[in-house]
Every structure is written in structure tokens, then in C-alpha cells.
Structure 1
């Protein structure tokens, strides 16, 4: 279903949209606007999913054990040592 809507574009936006139509990339200015809105919807949904995943990660980490700075440094140094001793890491 289509819904008619009236919008205002700046001169630059209008020129850009009409240029895309003239190049044959879109059939109409309306198609340009529809595509732009679809891309914005996809980006918004992806941003929301990423934010939700980060919030979940933070909640999970808050429930985990606290590791002090010196202990973390020790763990990182040990991990680097193991990686350097491995056969696939160049020194």
C-alpha cells in the first residue's frame, strides 16, 4: 500500500535526487526518497541491535568476577607469552 505524503527538500537535496533520476539510477524522486528511508530504517535497526547487545554484555560483565589492574596485567602478559611460544607467531 502506498501513502501519499508532502515533504520539503532543500535545493541541494532536490538537485541530488533529480540527478539520480536523470542518471537512470531511480525511476523517480519518490523512489530516491523511499530508498533513502529504507536505508535509514536498516541503519536504525542495526544501531538498536548493537546497542541492545552492548547493554546485555555490560549486564553480564557486571555480574562477573572483578579482576584488579595488576591481575589483568599478569593475565595479559601470560597470554602474550603463550602466543609468542606458539608455532604460528613470528618474533
Structure 2
């Protein structure tokens, strides 16, 4: 099911969306907007999951044993390295 909605785009946004259609990357400006909203939804959901995980981690840390700052720095660096490897992101 689709819902018709009226939106306003800046000249720059409109030109970009129309350019994507002209390049054949999307069938219409609506398809460009739909794809953008899907990406924003995915990003928002990922941020919510990350926030919940961070809250759980903080709660566990508050209830757990004290970890010296240097050891925690090493743990955080290791977690970030693992995440970068999994996402194949170079720093």
C-alpha cells in the first residue's frame, strides 16, 4: 500500500534526486525519497540498538568490579578495532 504525501524539497535536493533518476539509478523522485527514508529508518534503528547496548554496558559496569582506566582504555580500543574489522572501516 502506498500513501500520497506532499513534501517540499530544496532546489539542491530536487536537482540531486532528479539527477539520480536521469542516471537511471532510480525510476522516479518518489523512489529516491523512499530509499532515503528506508536508509534513515535503518540508521535510526541501529542507533537505538547501540544506545540500548551502551546503557546495558554502563549498568553492568556500575554493578561490576572496578576496572582501572588504562585497562578500560585497552578494552575500548580492542572493541573498536573489532568493530572496524567487522565493518571493514579504516581509521
Q: Is TM (by shorter chain) over 0.5?
A: yes
Alignment of 1:7-86 (within 5 A): 7-67=7-67
The aligned length equals 72
> Aligned-pair RMSD on alpha carbons?
1.7
Which sections of structure 1, spanning at least 5 residues, go unmatched? 77-91
Q: What is the TM-score normalised by the length of structure 1?
A: 0.73
Largest Rg, 1 or 2: 1
Structure 1 CA distance, aligned partners of 2:19 and 2:61? Answer: 50
Question: In structure 2, what is the equivalent of residue 81 of structure 1?
Answer: none
Structure 2 CA distance, aligned partners of 1:68 and 1:2? Answer: 55
Corresponding position: 1:3 with 2:3: yes
Specify whether residues 64 and 6 from structure 1 end up closer, same or farther in structure 2 by C-alpha distance, changes over 3 A only.
same
Q: What is the TM-score normalised by the length of structure 2?
A: 0.73
Residue 36 of structure 1 and its aligned partner are, at CA, apart by 0.1
